[in-house]
Structure 1
Amino acid sequence: MDLRLFQADVARLFNTSEDTITGWENGRSKPQVHFYPHIIDFLGYVPFEVSEEILGGRIKAFRLTRGLSQKKMGKLLSVDGSTICSWETGQTIPYKRMIEKIVKILDNEAT
């Protein structure tokens, strides 16, 4: 994609500094999760792969595309951020009532 934008232009679009954009471009830093929705919108596609075939992947994809940290996603579901992490990595599986709550949130946001 060649939009002929300068780093200053992109920085203004993302409400951040030119140094931040340079860091992303050079791989010295990664965008914070709250920038992800803007990046996805800017690029026109999701620049990361997450397997949505499993619940943990669906949770992670939902969270990242909305710019939510694990802590903020945890607040949405009334659990700790570390619980979200363990679900996303497959270390643990939510109990049945929580799965129903998660699926309801994921499905409601998709419509």
Structure 2
Amino acid sequence: MSSDTYNIQIEVETQYIEEQSLPEQDRYVFAYTITIHNTGKLPARLLNRHWVITDANNRIQEVKGEGVVGEQPHLNPGEQFRYTSGTMLQTPVGSMQGTYQMIADDGVEFDADIPAFTLSIPRTLH
């Protein structure tokens, strides 16, 4: 399978949601905005997501499901899809990583890796 035929690039931006967080109750809410770019040669649809969310105490949550934010976006080469979602941690710092299961228009299924990214309240990490 040629990597330039099936190629999805993922960009992530994160934000701490202070107004929804309750640090005194170990509740830290974060938003993340994902931009999915189809940099491959074939159109592809996002079928499923798989997230691994780890907090600073090494508690791991796994999230699996169809699509993202209720959609299974179909991206032609050069197109992108952007969405915002969120998660809650019991610690002020954590990380997320995962995969999107994709299917190209030729029927080939492949995974698009979501590189690990950090969730942290402001002024916690340098």
The reply to whether TM is greater than 0.5 is no
Q: Which is richer in strand?
A: 2
Q: TM-score, normalised by structure 1?
A: 0.26
Q: TM-score, normalised by structure 2?
A: 0.24
- Highest relative contact order (Cα 8 Å, sep 6+), 1 or 2? 2
